[in-house]
Amino acid sequence: MNPFQVLLRRAAPGVLVALVACALAAPAGAVSSRTWKQRDRADFEQGDPSGVSLLAEGPIRLGARLETLFEPDQPYIWAVASGPGGVVYAAGGNEGAVYRVEPGKPATPFCNVEEPEVLALAVDANGALYAGSSPGGRVYKFNPDGKLVWRTDTLEQYIWALQFDHKGTLYAATGTQGRVLLIGKDGSARVHFDSAETHVRTLAVDRDGNLLAGTDGHGLILRITPDGAHTVVADTGGRPLGVEVGPDGRLTRVKVVDPSFFNWPALPLAMADTIVPDFPLVNKSFNLSYAGNDL
């Protein structure tokens, strides 16, 4: 027995394993390290995100947790608003119904309006709910118990959005005259801003109290001051349905859809009791898009 064998026998078992591993790895040669960076959106798009959201600017952040709160028997949910205590209001059509969803409880009918669609909701600091109905262009105010306080006829056809500013003033985005209305606490309505567009689809408020309005016609994002003056912030080239403002007051996100977005819900109604070969005709009649922002 040579000295090397004696040494191995007296050594701890872990040392023997280490020696064998070194002996096996020696012929393979040295291993080099590599470095790479992932910083742009294109880098992260190659992966499959799980539990994270990829921002337009490139960085990733923790994604939102999705939880089903309510499954209505209505065909659409057009508007959602949150109130005090975690209460959520949801409105749809075609029955002009608004539902109330309290934490940990099933949804219950809250109120109904006379028109078939409720396209806009807002909740004030006292928990009162405001609902904008279409067609007909009315704004309703309901107490937290569901009792109607007032109803105002705006003389518009559509109420697309309702938005409070930092002072509690309520504004309504309307069509088909492309106006922004100021809704008084007594239910009165007056024109705050009259655009050259057909519709004002969405509203948001920046940190300085200015309105950011998305228009349908030329697809513009307008900044409207409290005195009614305006400037063009962006030209989206589509129909902006949602505007988001960051903490620094800058425009951060705009939800844009194609002109056919509002025509899609009519497709199943138009195709009822028809044969499949009629589909191309219906598709062209409604000018539907298959490759735009709608899908």
* Strand bridging mode 189-194 / 199-205: unpaired
Length of the chain: 295
pLDDT digits (tens, 9 = 90+) for 151-187: 999 999 999 999 999 999 999 999 889 999 999 999 9
217 vs 204: which has the higher pLDDT = 204
At residue 247, does pLDDT exceed 70? yes
Question: In the prediction, which pLDDT does 236 show?
Answer: 87
User: Rounded to two decimals, what is the model's pTM?
Assistant: 0.72
270 vs 5: which has the higher pLDDT = 270
Contact 89, 100 (CB under 8 A): yes
DSSP label at 135?
T
Question: In the prediction, which pLDDT does 118 show?
Answer: 93
Contact 165, 193 (CB under 8 A): no
pLDDT digits (tens, 9 = 90+) for 222-242: 999 999 999 998 888 888 888
pLDDT digits (tens, 9 = 90+) for 38-74: 666 677 777 777 778 777 666 777 877 777 888 877 7
Cis peptide bond prior to 135, omega within 30° of 0: yes
